[in-house]
Amino acid sequence: MNVRAEQPGPRAIGGARIFDGRAWHDGKVLEIRGSEVAALSSSAAANDVHQLPEGSVIVPGFVDLQVNGGSGILFNNDLTVSGIETICRAHRRFGTTSLLVTLITDTPENTQLAVAAGIEAAKKGIPGFAGLHLEGPHLSVARKGTHEPKLIRPMTDADLGLLLEAAKALPCLLVTLAPENAAPDQVRKLVDAGVVVSLGHSDAGIAEIRPFIEAGASMVTHLFNAMSPLQHREPGMVGAALGFGELSCGLIADGYHVDPLAIKVALKAKQGPGQIFLVTDAMSSIGWDGDRFQLNGREVFRRDGKLTLADGTLAGADIDMLSCVRFMVDRIGLELEEVLKMASVYPAQAAGLSGIGCLAAGKQADFLVLNPDLTIHASVCAGHWMEHGKVSA
């Protein structure tokens, strides 16, 4: 993979078609001031406009709200700032300029270490680090997926206190929980403190789910996976995700977690204003050549584009965001601009990350320069360029 070192980039970029997150622009110049977008103008104030290769496209950098690892590092196994930095750098190569580093269900002690590492990473301004996603441990054992059942437990007052304190120091805190092991009042307190609450890994019925939505839960974690299905007399978590406009939903678009036909049906059925957005649920395999790794003392195997436990249970995903985008265009047949929104605008909105996700004056200068074949020519994070040549997933 031919990726050059990060460096300050040009302050005015032209010669490309630009998608700002809402509409396409031709014949425009993207102006950068410091780490922010200054303007999208017909003519730049700067004398020197950097002209991109013919056929280039500028799009918002990808935003991934569920990233467990990268470059051989699984966050659960390396609860450090350097681990976070390695993960962010690994996904930057594939177009993700902002992400939530995700901790899979773990011990109370490791959860505390993860929060401490996240707070320190935020203080240090690690490029691409937008916050933490704590996926568990307050889940349903019946829908545990790859989560270690011995570590799943109800949310205690101590757990709630840790989350409330973490929310004060992190740029974003997303928590996945199940109605079976939490209470609506706890969700209400989390939401009031600025925590984004996502429902997932749950076998709950609609009557159990509704109070959590009323308490402020606004998201569903990896739609269709590890949740009660849609049935004609019991809509379950899938029905709630699609039918309640208050909820946005993450979707793993790798062809293994969700069948393409189910994706098409979900896209047609989803009620707004909440949107379906892309997540990778990526593990340590992204940017790494190994074929197995450890999670909570269990071995995860990498075979044929899938990650599984020994019993065949899917254990996260072996996919990057650029590949998810291509899958949605090539296999699902969505227009490119809608897929780009699913990879940038919609997740940023769902997580309340108002400074990223689109290209407008005052927003952080996070964007990609794509080649005509949807490979990456360069990724730009807070105005700093990483040139890739022709990088493919």
pTM listed for this prediction: 0.94
Asked whether residue 362 is domain-assigned, the answer is: yes
**Domain carrying residue 158:** 62-350
Write the CA distances from 218 to 162, 190, 236, 269, 285, integer angstroms.
21, 12, 16, 18, 30
Residues 103 and 122 in one domain: yes
Residues 70 and 21 in one domain: no
Q: How far apart are CA 38 and CA 13, in angstroms?
A: 12
Read off the CATH number of the domain in which 192 is found. Answer: 3.20.20.140
Residues 194 and 319 in one domain: yes
Radius of gyration (C-alpha) of the chain in whole angstroms = 20
Residues 261 and 272 in one domain: yes
Residues 382 and 273 in one domain: no
Residues 100 and 18 in one domain: no
What residue type is 359 in one-letter code? L
Element (H, E) at 357: none
End-to-end alpha carbon distance in the chain: 9
Read off the CATH number of the domain in which 19 is found. Answer: 2.30.40.10
The total of structural domains in the chain comes to 2
Residues 219 and 113 in one domain: yes
Q: Express each pLDDT in 8-39 by its tens digit.
A: 667 889 989 999 999 999 989 999 999 999 99
Contact 260, 251 (CB under 8 A): no
Residues 258 and 129 in one domain: yes
Pairing of strands 96-104, 62-67: parallel
Catalytic sites, residue numbers: 281
Asked whether residue 1 is domain-assigned, the answer is: no
Asked whether residue 135 is domain-assigned, the answer is: yes
Residues 21 and 116 in one domain: no
Residues 44 and 93 in one domain: no
Q: Is the link from the previous residue into 273 a cis peptide, with omega within 30 of 0?
A: yes
Can you give the pLDDT of all 393 residues of the chain as single tens digits?
444 445 566 788 998 999 999 999 998 999 999 999 999 888 655 558 888 988 999 999 999 999 999 999 999 999 999 999 999 999 999 999 999 999 999 999 999 999 999 999 999 999 999 999 999 999 999 999 999 999 999 999 999 999 999 999 999 999 999 999 999 999 999 999 999 999 999 999 999 999 999 999 999 999 999 999 999 999 999 999 999 999 999 999 999 999 999 999 999 999 999 999 999 999 999 999 888 888 888 888 999 888 889 998 988 899 999 999 999 999 999 999 999 999 999 999 999 999 999 999 999 999 999 999 999 999 999 998 887 754 333
Residues 54 and 66 in one domain: no
Residues 167 and 309 in one domain: yes
